[in-house]
């Protein structure tokens, strides 16, 4: 039985990525488990790692479900993270983002009546 999950995004410049992801998550990393690794704990057993691995940077995709997509979209714009606003996305409304390395980060809010 699985009890947790850590997603991983690989980046080329950890300081630049920390600045971007801190604005995304609205806080500094929760942990720095080792050199080159940042970790945000988003809920019990659930988190995101940002790892400096320049040769693999820019090929990660992260999808995060949020309760209020419109509020998050507005907060991100206020934090300087640009996007094209919420749009339809296959059973959900989504906001598509890219970190400085080109990793895809999507915020999603399921449409009413759909369960996960």
State pTM to two decimals: 0.92
Residues with Cβ within 8 Å of residue 12, at least 6 apart in sequence: 52, 54, 57, 58, 101
Domain ranges across the chain: 5-110
Could you tell me which CATH number the domain at 5-110 has?
Answer: 3.10.180.10
Residue pLDDT, tens place only, 36-71:
999 999 999 999 999 999 999 999 999 999 999 999
Residue pLDDT, tens place only, 70-85:
999 999 999 999 999 9
In this model, does residue 104 exceed pLDDT 70? yes
């Amino acid at each position: 039985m699985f009890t947790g999950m850590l997603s991983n995004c690989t980046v080329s410049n950890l300081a630049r990525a920390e600045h971007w992801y801190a604005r995304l998550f609205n806080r500094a990393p929760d942990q720095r488990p080792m050199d080159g690794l940042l970790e945000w704990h988003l809920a019990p057993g659930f988190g995101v790692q940002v790892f400096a691995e320049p040769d693999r940077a820019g090929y990660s995709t992260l999808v995060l479900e949020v309760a209020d997509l419109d509020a998050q979209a507005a907060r991100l714009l206020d934090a300087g993270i640009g996007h094209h606003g919420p749009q339809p996305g296959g059973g959900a409304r989504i906001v598509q983002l890219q970190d400085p390395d080109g990793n895809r980060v999507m915020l999603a809010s399921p449409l009413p009546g759909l369960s996960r």
